[in-house]
Chains A and B, each alone.
Chain A
């Protein structure tokens, strides 16, 4: 090597290095930032995973979740109906940790300080953050139905709308119900988690009754004026497959529960007594969102900037999934929360890299409902960001429903479930 060559190479290297400072600083911001994700459901777990993959595993991501395993709400109505076990919907978090390098803390967050940018854990530890993602799911407003909090605590009147022990317990109540008994299911005014979910549940309970307790029936009390999702499809199934097994009563808002006599009380109609009461109370954002003052839409849901899912009232706090004030025609669903997680993760990686966030994010939704233990109906939609209206809008001509229940989509539904569980938790 001669001196000229050496100098030339050095100059080239120094030239290259001079292009690096901004680059290095960007990467350094990304690597230094403490990112905390609270809640390892469809939204939070997906966000944590994609924060790692979109940063080529350089982002420091801590996921805080009190549960030891992921239990899916979608498909859980099959556990209520008895055709599946809860274990079939349960996935460990190992993949997130071992395969994707997410740091998991098994705890819950008791308090957030948006000014000091810290979260306090139930165990007492305080953790600082640069970016915080909240994905706590829904909060059940048990106090909106007189007597429900006590009846639920006593294990008498279950919700089973957060999949887990109550899902299993509700099936047990159904199994122990005498033939000829009535299973009363009440639905709150929309918006609530999983719009078609209650109607799928009615199908699953009726499917169980048809095989095991044919003298029984399901009575659905809906606070809404009609079936809120897949209406014609569900109605046709009820009329044909479950004739005499499902009775549907719209405009029926439950305001009270008497646990001792198993009686529902209504705003307008007469009291109703049943063998099993499954009351879905009104819902709002998860408690942590509400307690931190982030539920700024009707004091129930959190408004976010849809480009990055940042709260409109707290910088560097991003909110995903069922807790947000949704865009028009955007359902509160696990699939949608998974999609929120990806948009938020990409935006946060961009922000920490000093890149502009994606001005054109897209999210989709696919929702399968089992009408028995084989046949399925779906609803699907695509939502593109509209820069003028600053919200997601469905694309005209896209999306739609199944023409009728079918077994092929039953196979697809399980394929969807296995893939989205893997996409969410590793």
Chain B
């Protein structure tokens, strides 16, 4: 009986997962994730996809910075506390909330 239960359990699980593509179980971004990733992707044009600057580009590698470091830099650029060429001009175009989202998406995870 106990063995049979195990078989039934396995069947139920198999039947359910078979009806749902495996990739669905492993994926599907929420709407918020898509919004946030596309917002952070505005930075990728200069800083590389995901903030990973390509070798030899001489561009700060954002993905090596933490959330707090990115947020601090952008806020400082925005307020004028930090000098630069383009970043002070661009940072002023984002809300503080957007800066926080960008830092969350691009910042080092651990």
Contact = CB atoms under 8 A, between A and B. Distances in A.
A58 B27 contact: yes
B34 A418 contact: no
The CB with the most chain A CB atoms within 10 A, among B31, B34, B92, is that of: B34
**Residue from B6, B13, B24, B93 whose CB has the most chain A CB atoms within 10 Å:** B93
Given A339-B45, A355-B31, A356-B31, A412 B86 contact: yes
A108 to B, nearest CB: 27
B84 to A, nearest CB: 10
B45 A366 contact: yes
Contacts of A362: 39, 42, 93-94, 98
Nearest to A403: B85
A343 interface: yes
Nearest to A417: B57
Contacts of A31: 21, 23
Contact of A423 (B38, B44, B91): B44
Q: Could you tell me the dominant secondary structure of chain A's interface residues?
A: helix
A251 B72 CA distance: 48
A56 to B, nearest CB: 4
B45 A338 contact: yes
Interface in A393-426: 394-395, 397-400, 402, 408-409, 411-412, 414-416, 418-420, 422-423
B41 A342 contact: yes
B2 interface: yes
A105 interface: no
Give chain B's interface secondary structure class: helix
A212 interface: no
A312 interface: no
A371 to B, nearest CB: 15
A23 B28 contact: yes
B22 to A, nearest CB: 11
Interface in A204-240: none
A3 B4 CA distance: 11
A343 B37 CA distance: 10
Interface string A34-61: 0000000000000001100111111000
Contacts of B8: 6
Nearest to B30: A355
Nearest to B20: A24
A54 B21 CA distance: 18
B49 A422 contact: yes
Given A355-B34, A398-B93, A9 B9 contact: yes
A20 B28 CA distance: 12
A415 B5 contact: no
A364 B93 CA distance: 9
Interface in A325-361: 335, 338-339, 342-343, 345-346, 349-350, 353, 355-356, 358, 360-361
A380 B45 contact: no
Contacts of B19: 24
A380 to B, nearest CB: 5
Contacts of A416: 45-46, 59
B16 interface: yes
A399 B5 contact: no
A378 B90 CA distance: 12
A409 B9 CA distance: 64
Given A23-B24, A27-B24, A362-B98, A402 B85 contact: yes
Return the 5 tightest CB-CB contacts between A and B, nearest first: A382-B93, A398-B93, A346-B38, A56-B27, A355-B31
Interface of A: 1-3, 6, 9-10, 13, 17, 20, 23-24, 26-28, 31, 49-50, 53-58, 335, 338-339, 342-343, 345-346, 349-350, 353, 355-356, 358, 360-364, 366, 378, 380-384, 394-395, 397-400, 402, 408-409, 411-412, 414-416, 418-420, 422-423
Interface of B: 2, 5-6, 8-9, 12-13, 16, 19-21, 23-24, 26-31, 34-35, 37-39, 41-42, 44-49, 53-54, 56-59, 85-86, 89-94, 98
29 contacts: A1-B6, A3-B5, A24-B21, A27-B23, A31-B21, A54-B37, A339-B45, A342-B41, A346-B37, A350-B34, A355-B34, A358-B35, A358-B38, A360-B35, A362-B42, A364-B42, A364-B93, A366-B45, A378-B86, A382-B92, A384-B93, A398-B91, A412-B59, A412-B85, A412-B86, A415-B53, A416-B59, A419-B59, A420-B46
